[in-house]
Structure 1
Amino acid sequence: MDFTPYPDRFGFLHIDLNSFFASVEQQLEPKYRGRPLAVVPTMADTTCCIAASYEAKALGIKTGTQVGEAKKKCPEIVLIEGNHTEYAKYSKAIADAVELCCPVAHTPSIDEMVCQLIGREQEPPRARRIALDIKQSIYKNVGVALRCSIGMAPNRYLAKIASDMQKPDGLIGLLPSQLPRAIAHLELRDLPGVGARTEVRLNAKGITTMEQLLALDRAGMHKLWDSVWGDRLYHWLRGEATGDDGAPVSSGVQKSLGHSHVMAPEFRSQEGAWSVAHKLLHKAAMRLRMEKFYAGSMAVTIRFQLTREQAEGMAKAKKHFSGIKHSGWGMEARFRDCQDTLTLLEVLRGIWKQRPQGAEFQRPFFVGVTLRDLIPENEHQEDLFGDPNNRGQLSATMDKLNLKYGHTTLHFAGMLPARESAPTRIAFTQIPVQYGVDYM
């Protein structure tokens, strides 16, 4: 009897939106289609591209390429300052289009979605039909400039690998009977979770190719990674599922929320940085209440641009992705859990007074504010004496107006200079959520 322990079926589809930010811009403006285009955080040659169209990628311009360098490679490149609210809207529209064909089980990032297949959907011809229907649904319901690559595999880890194997507009399936030989040609860096540092560590242990990695048995994989991750990876690469299907296991408890911002040149002063920090807190505090949490601590991070002389005299000067050499400072303060903006602003003001004052700390260019130690509203213990100053009611009134008319409609005066700065940005692990008329 021919016994196949792992039947040739697909358990997951991983949808990877190709050059998402750039594709949205080409969808919004048909005249940009077919042209080299890059999305940038600000219009400055010293910053870096955060996305590039496939036409730009063909010229060697990619995420992380400095704008000045991109202009040298392609003088006619179209540069667009990112509109993260539009990207969030399109991500939601694409998820809705996918849902018409198959439920979205996970959303790892703004440009990725995962569908879990059940029953006869797992049969390869049916899974392929679903994948093609998803592509058509996005094309028909969202936009002709938006393309995706879809990976089909028995587990989530392999499905993500497959989605990267053919771009743009790819469709690749990895069946258990084809594994692991179907991925033997890949580079180690093609594996999710294997970055530059991990690759160096693997190379130091004698593993420089995928073939060498796949030749290891389970015990060898465990020893190589020195953790249960090695055991899991051994099974995933052979088409098995281990319960978490190749995805990080979430604790299910949100521990922090916050915002950070690389400031425009006009805000790179002590006063400008304070107003930006004030706005970041304003947004974070509003999100805290919308998501029904209280916070018990606040962390503030500031990075300061160094002059060439200062950088040369500082042995451990760090370098921002934009090329700016900088020093950094951060502080965390704990307090009785709260959620109203005024109390949180008092905490921010106290932290701000502690910032360093030396010569190398006079040119702030980055500010981050994070609320931590979150607890759900239903676990919060009210103060014995209540809220004598009605701070909670004041915040609730502000939220009501800001949800209706925009989140900067009503605010404290300290953020007025930066009211229009620090717009919504998309982090790799955080997708903006719509609250009222705005995304945050």
Structure 2
Amino acid sequence: MTQDEFAPHRIIMHVDMDAFYASVEQRDHPELRGKPVVVGGSPVDRGVVAAASYEAREYGIRSAMPMSLALRLCPHAIRRPPNFQAYQDASRIIHFHFRNITPLVEPVSLDEAYLDMSDHVMDFAHAAAVGRGLKRDIRISTQLNASVGIGPNKFLAKIASDYDKPDGFFIVHPEEVQDFLTPLPVRRIPGVGEKTERILTQLTIHTIQQLRECPLSNLQQVFGNKHGLSLYNLARGVDPSPVVADQRRKSLSQEHTFSHDLADGSKMNEFLSVLSAQVAEELEKMDLKGRTIGIKVRFDNFQIATRSFTIDHPTRDPKEITKIAKLLLERIDLTHRKVRLLGVRVAGFETDADDCADNAAENDLQLRLW
């Protein structure tokens, strides 16, 4: 693949804080440093893990896992209830540093974002210096570690940021894309979870190189036209999706893909609470309120169901968002179905009258694409 295939030439940075919630807890409570820390609800109330420190992950603990299971895996783990004010305060500082580099910042969550540096650096060497400076500035101002990846598109930048975690820094140059991707397992592709990996394994596809060698028609036959085309392009390092800055956003969402498909409705509700709180924190950080609350459910067979409802006033109240999200989940038939992904979305921002009008038609709660 030639560098021309990434035209127009772009330099994208992906920043992802390391075990953010748990790291903030360890920072603010020095006695927790070096110990397995899990952030989330009480196991008595069927809580789930929102975040786990790297020490806890060594015991197999992962986000979205039932807290009761996490504490069985590591009985001496220390559970902390979420402190979203502390996470938001750290996030404000982190995002301030992002905007010192470029106004083209696409927040993914409190602790993760894409930065389009194409017009603000001379080349990848210059971008490397900026990236290392960003890591240093975040460390000095928050006492937290960030992992940074740089590449010619969002897909490659995200893989790069995860390549050398924790406290990682990695660059994928345009001329190195194929050599970089070739040996990686397909699970490294964002969006390829347990279910997709299992299907690819049945097709004897284990690496990105093997995926690249699979004809497009075969992938579309198995995964459908859209998902098949996406896998085909990503295996070649192709991702034209733009970095969308805050001011162009018409909605804000949080999603989580479960490491194991979920069938327990009460656990889904617990995680909807976590996602709703995260969305509410993002809305507050951006000084936004929305009228339309929606949820997204992806099943283990890749079918997607969404529901949304527009209320008569703008909100960013986490309790209100959670209440509506749970009610919307009740409108989806979960009988004998396993859930792979859950998402919560708020749209119809009060500063965007057109978007509010468009979303008002969504009250019929019909099944539709997200």
TM-score normalised by the shorter chain: which range applies?
0.5 to 0.7
SS in 1 for 2:86: helix
Aligned residues: 296
Matches within 5 A, 1:336-415: 338-339=312-313, 378=353
Report the equivalent of 2:212.
214
Matches within 5 A, 1:110-121: 110-119=110-119, 121=121
Q: Percent identity?
A: 26
Report the equivalent of 1:5.
4
What letter matches 2:44 in structure 1? Answer: A
Report the equivalent of 2:86.
86
Structure 1 portions without partners, runs of 5+: 258-267, 269-275, 301-330, 356-368, 382-440
Report the equivalent of 1:37.
37
1:98 Cα deviation from its structure 2 partner: 2.7
1:187 Cα deviation from its structure 2 partner: 2.1
1:246 Cα deviation from its structure 2 partner: 8.6
Contact 2:19 2:53 in 1 (8 A): yes
Matched, 1:96 2:96: yes
SS in 2 for 1:121: coil
Contact 2:252 2:345 in 1 (8 A): no
Contact 1:120 1:126 in 2 (8 A): no
Rounded Cα–Cα distance in structure 1 between residues aligned with 2:57 and 2:173:
30
Matched, 1:187 2:162: no
1:150 Cα deviation from its structure 2 partner: 0.9
1:30 Cα deviation from its structure 2 partner: 1.9
Contact 2:314 2:349 in 1 (8 A): no
TM-score (norm 1): 0.54
Rounded Cα–Cα distance in structure 1 between residues aligned with 2:140 and 2:219:
45
RMSD between aligned residues: 4.7
Report the equivalent of 1:427.
none
Matches within 5 A, 1:243-254: 244-245=241-242, 253-254=250-251
Distance 1:120 1:223, change over 3 A: farther
SS in 2 for 1:98: helix
Rounded Cα–Cα distance in structure 2 between residues aligned with 1:113 and 1:181:
26
1:64 Cα deviation from its structure 2 partner: 3.5
Rounded Cα–Cα distance in structure 1 between residues aligned with 2:243 and 2:234:
7
Rounded Cα–Cα distance in structure 1 between residues aligned with 2:62 and 2:253:
31
Distance 1:100 1:211, change over 3 A: same
Report the equivalent of 2:125.
125
1:148 Cα deviation from its structure 2 partner: 1.3
Report the equivalent of 2:151.
153
Structure 2 portions without partners, runs of 5+: 255-265, 267-272, 296-306, 331-343, 358-370
1:292 Cα deviation from its structure 2 partner: 6.8
What letter matches 1:13 in structure 2? Answer: M
Distance 1:178 1:59, change over 3 A: same
Q: Which structure: larger Rg?
A: 1
SS in 2 for 1:79: strand
Rounded Cα–Cα distance in structure 2 between residues aligned with 1:53 and 1:138:
19
Rounded Cα–Cα distance in structure 1 between residues aligned with 2:131 and 2:64:
31
Contact 2:41 2:67 in 1 (8 A): no
The equivalent position to 2:169 in structure 1, one of 168, 171, 188, is: 171
Rounded Cα–Cα distance in structure 1 between residues aligned with 2:127 and 2:346:
42
1:74 Cα deviation from its structure 2 partner: 3.4
Contact 2:149 2:171 in 1 (8 A): yes
Distance 1:236 1:245, change over 3 A: farther
What letter matches 2:4 in structure 1? Answer: P
Contact 2:290 2:314 in 1 (8 A): no
Distance 1:333 1:132, change over 3 A: closer
Report the equivalent of 1:197.
195
Matches within 5 A, 1:246-395: 253-254=250-251, 338-339=312-313, 378=353
Report the equivalent of 1:312.
none
1:27 Cα deviation from its structure 2 partner: 1.7
Distance 1:109 1:48, change over 3 A: same
1:116 Cα deviation from its structure 2 partner: 0.5
Contact 1:97 1:142 in 2 (8 A): no
Rounded Cα–Cα distance in structure 1 between residues aligned with 2:239 and 2:309:
43
Rounded Cα–Cα distance in structure 2 between residues aligned with 1:178 and 1:38:
38
Contact 1:43 1:81 in 2 (8 A): no
Report the equivalent of 2:54.
54
What letter matches 1:189 in structure 2? Answer: R
Contact 1:94 1:138 in 2 (8 A): yes
* Structure holding more helix per residue: 2
Distance 1:220 1:378, change over 3 A: closer
1:97 Cα deviation from its structure 2 partner: 2.4
The equivalent position to 1:162 in structure 2, one of 142, 147, 160, is: 160
Contact 1:21 1:87 in 2 (8 A): yes
1:121 Cα deviation from its structure 2 partner: 1.5
**1:14-40 superposed Cα distances (whole Å, 9 cap, x missing partner):** 001110110111122122222211112
SS in 2 for 1:39: strand
SS in 1 for 2:163: coil
SS in 2 for 1:172: strand
Rounded Cα–Cα distance in structure 2 between residues aligned with 1:120 and 1:340:
36
